[in-house]
Chains A and B, each alone.
Chain A
């Protein structure tokens, strides 16, 4: 027994020498890293591989992909529709992300007012749209936008705001904007939740101190709240931009890219190229890669321009 007891500290010392804190942390991250590599890195690399090969149905089935270099990218950049889809995607993303940031901050400030009993009820209700599946959301709004029988036109008409029905989703001038509304409606709760959580983390003393200094409500928002929200706004910008860039369900349910090419967006383009005959998965992968690259560049831009480390 005595021998064993004497050996124990020595074993511990050896172990602590062998496994340092850094190594231990790295080891603990191995399972996560492996899972991420499997579900994230591998598909991304595989899509990259496909984008430089000729990949149709027959090739996918046989597993033999002829290498064609950058041909898919060349054909992609040569396609007028790709550029239209990209332009529409930027417009869509600009509108939805901008609207979400503004609305999320405004609504989060409102529901953060604990003195208002309605804030508590709103906090619960605000989550409802987030629970609606994207495709169901698109179909609901598609009915609402219906030209002759839509709920939206009926309301506007009874309010006297319009004197003839508006073809919201069928008019090339309004279709893209018509798709942004359901999208923002569905995804806004996520942004509100993040901002609301960040607001609750701002120490009350900062507001009390600024009030003592004679700051107005606007001054408090501008000089206290907004700077402290910058990190979370950067996070929302990155997340929402990447999701908006990949918008698909609302387009599928409401406009299917139409009228004309008014609502062709990048993800719709990739889908059509890949999954409609002649099933050019190679070119579809190339377009998805370009999209991912653009999102990556925007994310870097956000981090550099918006994100600031907060020190209190």
Chain B
């Protein structure tokens, strides 16, 4: 027997009250869901496979990831709240992550979930590190919602190997005040115009180094700049049969010649820091307000350079698209379940918390990454949602970025060696040779010839 509001409740009363309470809650939930439809269409679906408790039991789980703010602390806490299982996190820097993961794997440690850039992923798969997720509860629903980039990264030789972490496309940035000071109406629409603007900025004494390239050593900085301009001009690095497209007269070679000419031994309009900066540091350096153009690089650099806490020119940096047809490149980074997991059912649950839906049926992390960090999602539904439209708005012109997104193709279409195990050592050489070229030690022709020879060398290192 229970007492409520002075009424003695019999078992019968309790049963009726329970039913009516459930109805009220259900109807409220329904109303809330309807209300949220505009903001988050069809995200939250109660009772899906993501909310089912695995039959097996585990004491704890773990993931090995690269650092990004405090998102992993939040995810661990949420997972423990939702499922009552503690999650240990091993977090390193982006550049150190492959070494950390592979060392732990080689040492025989348990790793439930990890993440990968699209460049390392084929290697991890080939080396037996990645557990396919086909056939797991709800996996097919995720695949149906994958964006084009995600499919090209997460699906390998017909198997689904992971869920998306985030997606990004390559765009340009410009410093609007400086452009205005130069009395230039709008940013460049051709590559010749780009050079004209930079030369004018230098000549007028408005900027000593008008362009800050994102050309530090890495997988996405220096190579990404070359890939993206080549893609925009209609070129590729390899054809569909895997033959290189770096020979004399190739678009990639011409792009490199044009690019190298912006450095010290040519027009001298490129900031020498270009060869050191990574994506975030380049955005921070651009925030000093000394350059006219920055890029091409990830669209989300805007959330650094237009953040008043990080940039003195916040709000004055605009996003800019590409010349010609506007073609650009994009990537998706992924989370995956490792073959060294403790328990497949629980590892799948954790993988979903990171790269899929949480217990409430929402793409919780994808949505918060869009809102907090301007990251794109590997799911079509999230990309079409208000999470992106409203979430990105504080930092840039969302419609403009989404229009560029429509013209982006996966980086692997421009440089298909990303699917090959020798891509990494070849990229090491690419970083070396292209930096030599940009610093005037070798010509673009010698650089491309060396890279052609380097393909065979890289294959030997596998």
Contact = CB atoms under 8 A, between A and B. Distances in A.
Interface of A: 56-58, 60-61, 75, 78-81, 146-149, 167, 169-172, 256-261, 264, 271-273, 275-281, 283
Contacts of B441: 172, 260
B108 interface: yes
A84 to B, nearest CB: 9
Nearest to A274: B99
Nearest to A261: B432
Interface stretch (B33-41, B62-70, B134-142, B423-431): B423-431
A57 B102 contact: yes
A172 B276 contact: no
Interface in B389-408: none
Contacts of B422: 278
A146 B461 CA distance: 34
Given A172-B439, A280-B461, A58 B275 contact: no
Contacts of B435: 258-260
Interface in B99-115: 99, 102-103, 105-108
A264 B424 contact: no
A283 B458 CA distance: 13
Contacts of A146: 273
Interface residues of B, number: 46
A81 B273 CA distance: 25
Nearest to B106: A60
A258 B128 CA distance: 32
B424 A148 contact: no
B51 interface: no
Given A147-B273, A170-B273, A256-B217, A264 B105 contact: no
B432 A260 contact: yes
B254 to A, nearest CB: 21
18 contacts: A61-B106, A79-B460, A146-B273, A147-B272, A148-B271, A148-B285, A148-B288, A170-B439, A171-B439, A172-B441, A258-B275, A258-B432, A260-B432, A260-B435, A261-B432, A276-B424, A277-B102, A278-B421
Shortest 6 CB-CB distances between A and B: which pairs? A277-B123, A60-B106, A275-B99, A260-B436, A57-B127, A260-B435
B424 to A, nearest CB: 4
B290 interface: yes
Nearest to B340: A61
Interface string B241-278: 00000000000000000000000000000011101100
Nearest to A55: B106
A197 to B, nearest CB: 38
A277 B428 contact: no
A78 B216 CA distance: 27
A272 to B, nearest CB: 6
A162 to B, nearest CB: 14
A56 B462 CA distance: 9
Nearest to B119: A277
A31 B129 CA distance: 40
A61 B439 CA distance: 42
B273 A280 contact: no
Nearest to A272: B428
A169 B435 CA distance: 13
B436 A275 contact: no
A138 B374 CA distance: 31
A277 B461 contact: no
A281 B425 CA distance: 14
A58 B102 CA distance: 10
B131 interface: no
B381 interface: no
Given A75-B460, A172-B441, A61 B128 contact: yes
B127 A279 contact: yes
B121 to A, nearest CB: 9
Contacts of B290: 148
B461 to A, nearest CB: 6
Given A258-B435, A276-B428, A170 B272 contact: yes
Contact of A58 (B99, B127, B461): B127
A258 B428 contact: no
B433 interface: yes
Given A278-B127, A278-B424, A259 B439 contact: yes
A75 B461 contact: yes
A13 B298 CA distance: 83
A148 B289 CA distance: 12
Interface string B132-164: 000000000000000000000000000000000
Contact of B128 (A57, A169, A283): A57
A260 B433 contact: yes
From B126, B217, B275, B340, name the one whose CB has the most chain A CB atoms within 10 angstroms: B275
B124 interface: yes
Contacts of A167: 272
B457 interface: yes
A301 B42 CA distance: 74
Nearest to B121: A277
Contacts of B356: none
Contacts of A75: 460-461
Contacts of B457: 79-80
Given A260-B436, A261-B432, A279 B102 contact: yes
Nearest to B212: A148
B107 to A, nearest CB: 8
B436 A261 contact: yes
From A79, A170, A171, name the one whose CB has the most chain B CB atoms within 10 angstroms: A170
Given A258-B216, A276-B98, 12 more contacts: A58-B128, A149-B285, A170-B272, A171-B272, A259-B439, A272-B428, A275-B102, A276-B424, A277-B120, A277-B124, A279-B102, A280-B462
Interface string B408-420: 0000000000000
A58 B447 CA distance: 34
A283 B461 CA distance: 8
Nearest to A60: B106
A277 B98 contact: yes
Contacts of A170: 272-273, 275-276, 439
A261 to B, nearest CB: 5
Contacts of B285: 148-149
B433 to A, nearest CB: 7
A75 B457 CA distance: 9
Nearest to B436: A260
A276 B431 CA distance: 14
A276 B108 CA distance: 18
